[in-house]
Structure 1
Amino acid sequence: MIKRSLFFTNPAYLSTRNEQLVVNFPEESKKEKTVPIEDLGFVILENQQITLTNALLMKLVQNKTAVITCDQQHLPCSLLQPLVGHTEQTVRYRHQLDASVPLKKQLWQQTVMAKISNQAQHLKRLDKYSLKLERWAGEVKSGDTQNHEAIAAAHYFQNLFTIENFSRNQKGIPPNNLLNYGYAILRAITARAIVSSGMLPSVGIFHHNKYNAFSLADDIMEPYRPFVDALVFNIVESGCNIEELNTNIKVELLQIPAMDVEIDGKKSPLMNAMSRTTNSLYECFYGSSRKILYPEFG
C-alpha cells in the first residue's frame, strides 16, 4: 500500500483519537478532520504555529511514520524516527559496522555507476547530450578514486537546465531552491527506509562527516536524485514562477514518495523501491549478496 504524505502549512492542533490523526484549526469555520494513522508515511510540519500531542507523536513513531519539521526558510530541517526500527536491529547494526573497506568501496562504485547512468538516461530522454555520462558510468572504479561522481554531476547540470549562470549550489539561483526541497524529501524517505531495514543512517559507505547524522542516507539516495531532477525540470518547463518556493510547488514536490520507478524490471512507488534498495544493502553487509538494487531511469 502507498503511504500518504500530509503537509501542514497553516496553524493547527494535531492530536489522536481511536488510532486516527485528528486535525483541528484555530478558525471556527474549519471543521475537524481525521486521517487513519496506519495510512501515513510522512507528516511534514511547516508552520511554526503547529501543536502536537505526545500521544500522537508516539503513535506516529510506532507506525514508522516519518515526522519532518521545517525551519524558518520552510525547508525540512529535522526528522523524527523510532529508536527501534527492526526486530533484528542489534544484529544488523553489527553486520553494518563490521563491513570491510573493500566491500564499502565496491558498494560506492555501484552507487556512483547507477547515479551517473540515471543522469545520462534523464538527459537522453530530453534529447540532450548524454554520451559523456554514458561513458563515465562504465569507467567508475572501486571507491570512485577518480571522482567521477562529482565530475559527472557538474557536466549533468550544465546540460540539464538552459538557465543563464545556473550551477548546482544550495544557495544558488532557482531552481536550486526546488532541488534543495526535493532532495530534503528524498533524504527523509531514504533515512526512513534505512531505519526500517534495521541499519544506522549515520554510518555511511562513503560519506563520513562526523557532524552528519544521515551519512548512509546521503550515500544511498544518490541514484534516486535524477528522479527528483526530472520532477523539478518539469516544473521549470511549465513556466510557473520558481523564484519563490510556494505551496503549489511544494505540493508537486511532495509527489516524490509516490513517483513510479523501476527496479529489476518491476515498477513500484519510489518509497517502496527505496525499501528494496535498503534491504538489498543489508544483504550485502550480511554477505548473502554483492549487489545493491537501484532503480533505472527510463
Structure 2
Amino acid sequence: MLRVVDLSSEGLHVAVHRGFLTVRRDREEVGRIALDDIGGVIAHAHGLTWSNTVFTRLSERAVPVVLCAQNHAPVACVWPVAGNHLQGARLNAQANAPRPLAKRIWRDIVVAKIRMQGSVLASVGAEPGAFAMLARKVRSGDPDNVEAQAARRYWQALMGPDFRRDRAAEGANSLLNYGYTVLRATLSRAICAAGLHPSIGLHHANRGNAFALADDLMEPYRPLVDRAVYNLVQDGCLDVSSQAKSALAALTALDLLAPRGMSPLHVHAARLAQQLAGRSCGAEDDFDLPVPPEPLTMAGLARRGDAT
C-alpha cells in the first residue's frame, strides 16, 4: 500500500530532490521518501514552506495534497488535473456507487460500532449481552435503525441513568465533543489522501456537511473516545483542559487489531479509506473495520499520568 506523508511538525521545508520528497528543518534533512511510494500528503503544521516543484511532481503522480487548518480538519486539497486517471476514476466511482453497495458497507459499519459499544460496556463491568443480539439484527442499510436502539441503551449503561448526550452541554459532553473532533479530523485526512471526496457520504447526507463520509467511517471508532472520556470523568476531569486534549488526541496512536495485523488508529483509518476507494471502483478488497481492544487496554485509555 502507498504511504501517506503526514507533515505535523513546525518550521519544515518540503522539496523534491532526485525523485524523492525531502523534508528539512533548519537546513538539516529530517526525512525523505520516494515520490513513487507516496499515496497522499497531509499538511497540518504552522510555518511549512514548499517549493513549487513539490506540487507539480506529486500531481504528475496523481498524489493529492491535503491542507488542514489549526484544528487539523481539511480545508483544501490540491487535486491533480492532468494525467490523473486514477483520481478521476475514484471520484466518479464514489459519486456513482450503487446504493446496494453503500447500504451493505453501512451495515458493516453499524455492526462494528455496536460490537465496539458492547466491548466498552463489558470493560466497565456493565452487561453487554444485548449488544451482540442487536449487532445480529442489523440489515443492509440499517432500515430498522438498530444503531439508534443501541445508542439509547448504551449511554445510560456507560455514563449512568441521568446522563443525556447533549452537544451543547459541559462536562463529559464537552469532552466527547472534543474527542469526536479529533477523530473526525483523522478520518477526513485519510479520506482526502485516498482520493475520495469527503462530502459524498454512505449514510450521512446533510448538504451542509462537507465531511459526511468522515462521519460515516468514524462510527466504529467513536466508542473508543467514549471509553477514554469515561476514564477522564472517573479520574475527576470534567473540563477540556490542555491535559485532557492531549490525552484524547493520543487516541490516534492507539494500536488496533485488524485482519491484516496491528496498527495505530490513524494508519488503520488510512487503510480503511483506501479499501473503500477500492470497493467503489469494483475491487473485492477486504474492509478492515476495527476490532475491540482488550479490556485492559480500554481501561488505560486517556490515563497517561497527565490526563487529569
**Residues 64 and 82, structure 1, Cα contact 8 Å, conserved in 2:** yes
User: Which one of 187, 190, 195 corresponds to residue 187 of structure 2?
Assistant: 190
**Residues 193 and 274, structure 1, Cα contact 8 Å, conserved in 2:** yes
**Counterpart of 1:132?**
130
- Partners in 2 of 1:67 and 1:148 — Cα distance? 34
Q: CA deviation at 1:38?
A: 7.0
Matched, 1:166 2:163: yes
Q: TM-score, normalised by structure 1?
A: 0.77
**Residues 21 and 37, structure 1, Cα contact 8 Å, conserved in 2:** no
Percent of paired sites with the same residue: 29
Q: TM-score, normalised by structure 2?
A: 0.74
Describe the SS at the equivalent of 2:141.
helix
- Partners in 1 of 2:207 and 2:249 — Cα distance? 29
**Residues 190 and 221, structure 1, Cα contact 8 Å, conserved in 2:** yes
Letter in 1 for 2:268: A
- Partners in 1 of 2:217 and 2:14 — Cα distance? 36
Describe the SS at the equivalent of 1:255.
helix
- Residue-by-residue CA offset, 1:209-238 (whole Å, 9 max, x unaligned): 111110111101100111222222222222
Change (3 A) 1:235 1:20: farther
User: Which one of 70, 78, 82 corresponds to residue 83 of structure 1?
Assistant: 78
Describe the SS at the equivalent of 1:268.
strand
Matched, 1:296 2:291: yes
**Counterpart of 2:297?**
none
User: Which one of 253, 259, 280 corresponds to residue 258 of structure 1?
Assistant: 253
How many residue pairs end up in the alignment?
267
Q: CA deviation at 1:102?
A: 1.1
Q: CA deviation at 1:165?
A: 2.9
**Residues 37 and 59, structure 1, Cα contact 8 Å, conserved in 2:** no
Q: Which consecutive unaligned segments of at least 5 residues does structure 2 have?
A: 16-22, 34-40, 59-63, 294-308
**Residues 2 and 258, structure 1, Cα contact 8 Å, conserved in 2:** no
Q: CA deviation at 1:283?
A: 2.2
- Partners in 2 of 1:95 and 1:120 — Cα distance? 34
- Any residues of structure 2 matched to 1:1-298 within 5 Å, and which? 16=13, 19-20=23-24, 36=30, 43=44, 52=47, 55=50, 64=65, 67-70=68-71, 78-84=73-79, 88-162=86-160, 165-239=162-236, 241-242=237-238, 244-264=239-259, 266-289=261-284, 292-298=287-293
Deviates further, 252-261 or 284-293: 284-293
**Counterpart of 1:11?**
none
Letter in 2 for 1:105: K
Change (3 A) 1:38 1:82: farther
Describe the SS at the equivalent of 2:78.
coil
Letter in 1 for 2:169: G
Letter in 2 for 1:151: Q
Task: Compute the RMSD of aligned alpha carbons.
Answer: 3.4
